[in-house]
Amino acid sequence: MYTDPIADFLTRIRNASMARLKTVEIPGSNTKRAMTAILFDQGYIANYKFEEDDKQGVIKIALKYNQSTKVPAITKIDRASRPGLRKYSSATEMPRVLNGLGIAIVSTSRGVITDKEARKENVGGEVLCYVY
């Protein structure tokens, strides 16, 4: 049993990326599924697949690397808000990651979206993580 499933999700991706693994399996949840879809849409992972089982399901993620240098597409993936210290941001004060080159994944009233979409839709929320 772990207390922070989002941190576990990010740590599994970070560790698999540093170990140069092709795929990683993560226990599923709706928030993790939305975060995985965002990572795919933004080009940080190669592919993903949701598999159902008797419990919560499994997310299989194919990691993405540079073809020539074998450098992972995800340079850094960090948890922003955590159970002990939640970080919320309004639409006007939404953080910019690497001056717009990275993304922040935000949980809003309109679902889990990127910081750019949150600014465009003028909604704030809990900043879950930073990816670049």
Give the model's pLDDT for residue 2: 78
Last residue of a domain, one of 18, 40, 63: 63
Note the helical H segments in 1-132.
Answer: 5-18, 30-41, 115-121
pLDDT tens for residues 85-131?
A: 999 999 999 999 999 999 999 999 999 999 999 999 999 999 999 99
CATH code (residue 9): 3.30.1370.30
Return mean pLDDT, the chain: 95
Average pLDDT over residues 34-54: 96
Based on the fold, state whether residues 10 and 59 are members of the same structural domain: yes
Q: Are 85 and 7 in contact (CB under 8 A)?
A: no
Based on the fold, state whether residues 59 and 26 are members of the same structural domain: yes
Measured distance CA(36)–CA(45) in Å, rounded: 8
Domain count, the chain: 2
Measured distance CA(40)–CA(131) in Å, rounded: 12
pLDDT surpassing 70 at residue 20: yes
Based on the fold, state whether residues 127 and 82 are members of the same structural domain: yes
In a domain, 70, yes or no: no
Based on the fold, state whether residues 9 and 58 are members of the same structural domain: yes
Measured distance CA(94)–CA(88) in Å, rounded: 9
Supply 121's token pair: 């839709």
Single out the residue of 101, 94, 116, 126 nearest to residue 38, CA to CA: 116
Residue type, 63: L
pLDDT surpassing 90 at residue 43: yes
Measured distance CA(92)–CA(103) in Å, rounded: 16
Work out the percent of the chain whose per-residue pLDDT is above 90.
92
CATH code (residue 89): 3.30.1490.10
In a domain, 68, yes or no: no
Give the model's pLDDT for residue 1: 58
- The pTM is what? 0.94
- Only one residue has tokens 């979409």, namely 117
Based on the fold, state whether residues 98 and 48 are members of the same structural domain: no
Owning domain of residue 85: 77-131
What is the distance, to the nearest Å, from the Cα of residue 79 to the centroid of all Cα atoms in its chain? 9
When pLDDT is cut at 50, 70 and 90, the band that residue 54 belongs to is confident
Based on the fold, state whether residues 59 and 81 are members of the same structural domain: no
pLDDT surpassing 90 at residue 75: yes
